Structures are given as structure tokens and as C-alpha cells.
Chains A and B, each alone.
Chain A
Amino acid sequence: EVQLVQSGAEVRKPGESLKISCKGSGYSFRSYFIGWVRQVPGKGLEWVGLVFPRDSQSRYSPSFQGQITISADESIRTAYLHWSSLKASDTGMYYCVRQQYSSWSAFEYWGQGTLVTVSS
């Protein structure tokens, strides 16, 4: 059974750094793109970016480019979303997703979400 298990909720202050994680199991982790999707509470879904664990190739939405870094460690089957300096506007629920086959495919599996709260 394919599973994506994300790290727990985080509360940080503006300017602080943060890295959240997503551990995949039940499939060949290195062979599928992993992405991240943000949902601001009560709002819609926004694609953040993706990474291909086999070669760490990554691609970002222009809305998030330069603000975050997505990476993956194939040896421990884990993908990461990292902020070096958080802003209040980064507050939201972040879901990791596994795409169906290539980077041009739907989001077939979703993690349970990690709530990130940035507040002074």
C-alpha cells in the first residue's frame, strides 16, 4: 500500500527557518515525482513545486521560487520542504503528493498534511 507520512504541525516566528518532511512507503521511492501543495485555511489549493528523488531534479511554481527549497533523500525515502526565512504569509497546510508516473501526471497519492503556523 502506497503511503506518504508527513511530519507534525509546526509553529514558528517570522524570520525563522523550517524543514518539514514526507516519508514514502509501499512503492519505488526513487521512481516517482514528489510534490508539495499548499492550502491556506479555508481557501483553495496551490501547487508549490516538485522533486524527482532519483536525480534531485526540482521545479517550482513562480509564486514560490526563491522562497522555498524542495529536496529528497532517496536513502531514507523522504522528501523535504524547506524555508530559510519564514513569513506570516507562509501559514497554511502543506500536503506532499506523489504523481502518477511522470512530472506531467495527476496527484495520485496525498500525505495527511502538515500545518505550518507563522506568527510573532
Chain B
Amino acid sequence: EIVLSQSPGTLSLSPGERVTLSCRASQSVNNAFLAWYQQKPGQAPRLLVHGAANRATGIPVRFSGSGSGTDFILTINRLEPEDFAMYYCQQYGSSPYTFGQGTKLEIK
């Protein structure tokens, strides 16, 4: 089973800032089958990025993903108030699919 480790656990930032979230895999993720999800309190997660670098339908261009192998990054340029939430990475290249433990992005 591939273990995903996200860092940092919590980030405190202000609107307008740029943020990078990290996701490290215990072994290489097949075909860069790595996704990022955003979850707000009381809501289901929402797909942001798939295939490590492809924005999902309707996701603003300020969200971008990168990486390959074992190291992946989600970047959010110019944080908007609605971006403060939990973020999870997930690999779906090997079974069982696994999620990282999440990074909480909070308003400073």
C-alpha cells in the first residue's frame, strides 16, 4: 500500500498570498495518477487536480498541480477567502487507492 504524507499539517496565510502544499509518496505513483481534493466543513470533497497536473472542470486557474514519481505539489496563487479549507492528495495508480492525511489551510 502506498502511504501519502502531506506537509505541512496546518498553514496560516492571508488572502492574496501564494501557497504550496506538498504530498510525498512512499513509492512511485504509477503514471502520475495523483489527485488533489478540497474539502470545506460539512461538504463532500471536490476534485481540483487529476493526473498530477490537470485541473478538473470548472476549477479556477489559480490552482495548479505538478510533480512526478514520489513528490507532488499543489500551488494556489493569490489565495481567495473561499480557498481556506482542507486539502487532500490521493493516488489512484495502485490498489488500494490511498489518501494523504490532509493539510488544513486557515486564515491568518
Residues of A within 8 A of B (CB): 44-47, 59, 61-63, 95, 99-100, 104-108, 110-113
Contact = CB atoms under 8 A, between A and B. Distances in A.
A100 B90 CA distance: 14
A62 B88 CA distance: 21
Interface residues of B, number: 24
B90 A106 contact: yes
Nearest to B102: A44
A100 B88 contact: no
B79 interface: no
Nearest to B95: A59
A74 B90 CA distance: 28
Contact of A45 (B46, B56, B90, B92): B90
Nearest to B6: A44
A45 B36 CA distance: 12
A105 B93 CA distance: 8
